[in-house]
Amino acid sequence: MLASLALGEKSIGELAEPFAMSFAGASKHVKVLEDAGLVRREVRGRTHVCRLDAGPMASADQWLRLYERFWTGRLDALEQLLRDDVREAKSRKQGDRK
């Protein structure tokens, strides 16, 4: 739903359609997104129109980037250790053949 809203305003019915869900189910889902501050809903007559509020996602992205740097370094080090282990295992195996 958030990806759809990134393209522009949508009614609850339009948001529900790709997921084959009821209006009530989609409305409950949108309510959760509203409570999280990610979606704004406006009632226009009988139609509930939603739009994305990307501000909270930008804050989350900024916070996650701090940890991305940490984990990228750690995962790169782990990958190198695993490659070294594989290389050593292959070397021992070749030594056993001689």
pLDDT given for residue 53 in this prediction: 93
Strand partners, 40: 51
In the chain, the amino acid numbered 81 is L
pLDDT given for residue 98 in this prediction: 60
For 12, the 3-state DSSP assignment is helix
Domain range summary for the chain, segments of one domain joined by +: 2-53, 55-98
Of 54, 57, 61, 50, give the one whose Cα is nearest residue 8.
Answer: 50
pTM over the 0.85 mark: no
pLDDT given for residue 92 in this prediction: 85
- pLDDT tens by residue, 55-86: 888 888 888 888 888 888 899 999 999 999 99
In the chain, which ranges are E strands?
A: 10-11, 39-44, 47-52
pLDDT given for residue 50 in this prediction: 96
Instruction: State the Cα–Cα distance between residues 70 and 9, nearest whole angstrom.
Output: 37
In the chain, the amino acid numbered 59 is S
- pLDDT tens by residue, 6-55: 999 999 999 999 998 898 999 999 999 999 999 999 999 999 999 999 88
**Structure-token pair, residue 51:** 């739009």
Stronger pLDDT, 89 or 94, i.e. the higher one = 89
pLDDT given for residue 39 in this prediction: 96
Alpha helices of 12-98 — where are they, by DSSP H? 12-16, 23-35, 55-97
CATH class in words for 2-53:
mainly alpha
pLDDT given for residue 7 in this prediction: 94
